[in-house]
Amino acid sequence: MGRSVWGFWQGVFSTAVLYGSLALFTSILHNVFLLYYVETFVSIYKIDKISFWVGETVFLIWNSLNDPLFGWLSDRSFLSSPQQGSQITSPEVVLKRLKALSTNGPLFALSFLAFWVAWARPGLQFLLCLCLYDGFLTMVDLHHSALLADLAVSAADRTRLNFHCSVFSALGSLSVFLSYSFWDKEDFYSFRLFCVTLAAFSILGFLLVSRLLQQRFKKEIRPKQDDASVLKELSVGHAPLTSPEKPVTIGQYLKQLSKQKNFLWFVSMNLIQVFHCHFNSNFFPLFLEHLLSDNISASTGSILLGISYIAPHLNNLYFLTLCQRYGVYQVIRWLFMLKLGLSVAMLLAGADHIYLLCIFIASNRVFTEGTCKLLKLVISDLVDEDFVVNRRQQAASALLFGMVALVTKPGQTFAPLIGTWLLCVYTGYDIFEREPVKDSVSMSEAASSSGTPPLRLGCFYMLVFVPITCALLQLAAWSRFTLHGRKLQGIKTLRQGAQHGHLIDVKAI
């Protein structure tokens, strides 16, 4: 009976749908985390400024190092050149990643719950929660992202997998809409129950989907193992055609990676992108409060908040169709130019156009997050290039995703630190101050002299100048990236030829 039920569900859902659904179980938790963790510790747990900065600094180090560390532990055996008869098949690699997801997915959901109950001193809890949460999030995101490069090589198949991720990520963003109804700094109990419900759903989802996919790929491995045993029997008594090679060390791998100019230009651009994405997430509530709260209702603010989280995923469905027609490189370049154009237009319009502000605040986050969703496709192309250029035994997908994160994830920590610093330097407003008197006095003095509260003006300038600066730097770096067009197609052809017979046909599963 149990087997027939499993067989039924395996027949109903395609591999692409199951792969995409894993994004749902991550996004329903991570969106809530990004939106509320800073305000929870600052406004509810009353963390002091020094503890906050120390926690963010330690988190910066851990956040950067755990991706390449976990990627190295996962993929170090794939770095040597292929040997006769020793090729690892893609189904085996995929099964390995699914086992990691089935373990770390539920642990990630449990670590999410640790934020919403005060169980230690605020500074200590802030540090431990961030490191624990990010460790399990890294394991989940690393293996899920690596599957994109392991399941398919062609741009069409990868776009199809990413399409399903966008659909399910959009569904996961509904948790932001719901969270606004439960969020209350004065009565935290309802919000805690809401978070427990989300975590329980995520745990069940990870366990169910990972098991369905594991059963599917175990069937894929069996015929390949039978073929391998036959070849092994035929080669008995023959000397090996190639001598075993020493495994590649981490130093050698880093040296190989440093010679790949496309990788270096990409991580330079992506560091700025990660910073901008998290800057928008961390300061979205602040912009709503000080730029719009006096002119819009609470329900309108809730709608703007929800749109800013859901629209990027829905918009990404359109961006992916553009990618199939014009290529990922060109679409990303257009998005950078659009970000720059909208920001300059808003700067020229000024802070008094409320409806323009509403549109800009929402669209700024939508297009920035939309760009982030496309970057996994570029990293998957870098995996192909690394495989071909360095003649890998198997594409080291998780390791390369980890090395990208090593350079780019500091942007996640820089966002709240630089944002709060800019706000304090320009306006004198300190989010850690418990007494608002000083700020109220300065605001009233400025209002009498200039007619514009400095805090509101400071928020407006942060809102427009940050994306302008980011867009200019990103366009400069992206113009040096050459892995697109004919060069990219040549790389994919070489990888498909090198791994002929060992790749998975996603449509056939």
Q: What is the pLDDT at residue 194?
A: 94
Yes or no: say if 270 and 375 are a contact pair by the CB < 8 Å rule: yes
By CB atoms closer than 10 A (0-12, 13-18, 19+), residue 332 is buried
Yes or no: say if 164 and 16 are a contact pair by the CB < 8 Å rule: yes
Q: What share of the chain in percent tops pLDDT 90? A: 31
Give pLDDT tens digits for 260-275.
999 999 999 999 999 9
Q: Where do we find the tokens 């990303």?
A: 332
Give pLDDT tens digits for 80-107.
655 444 455 567 788 888 999 999 999 9
> What domains does the chain contain, in order, with CATH numbers?
12-82+89-221+262-430+454-503 (1.20.1250.20)
Yes or no: say if 473 and 411 are a contact pair by the CB < 8 Å rule: no
Q: Write phi, then psi, for 427 (nearest 5 degrees).
A: -115, -15
Q: What is the pLDDT at residue 198?
A: 95
Closest residue by Cα to residue 327 from 142, 141, 158: 158
Give pLDDT tens digits for 476-488.
999 999 999 899 8
Q: What is the pLDDT at residue 475?
A: 96
Which segments of 395-509 does DSSP mark as H helices, in order?
Answer: 397-408, 410-427, 437-450, 454-478, 486-498
How would DSSP label each residue in 139-155? HHHHHHHHHHHHH--SH
What pTM value is reported for the model? 0.77
Tokens found for residue 228: 């391998």
Closest residue by Cα to residue 336 from 374, 362, 292, 392: 374
Q: Is the pLDDT of residue 78 over 50?
A: yes
Between 149 and 304, where is the model more confident? Answer: 149
Give pLDDT tens digits for 194-217.
999 999 999 999 999 999 988 887
Q: What is the pLDDT at residue 232?
A: 44
Q: What is the pLDDT at residue 245?
A: 57
Which 3 state secondary structure label does DSSP give 122?
Answer: helix
Q: How far apart are CA 88 and CA 75, in angstroms?
A: 12
Tokens found for residue 287: 């912009």
Go through 66-84 and write b for each residue having 16 or more CB atoms within 10 A of its CB, e for each that does not.
bbbbbbbebbbebbbebee
Band the pLDDT of 218: cuts 50, 70, 90: confident
Range with the poorest average pLDDT among 120-129, 200-209, 348-357: 348-357
Yes or no: say if 340 and 467 are a contact pair by the CB < 8 Å rule: yes
The residue-averaged pLDDT of 138-161 equals 87
Rg for the chain (alpha carbons), in Å? 24
Q: How far apart are CA 286 and CA 292, in angstroms?
A: 10
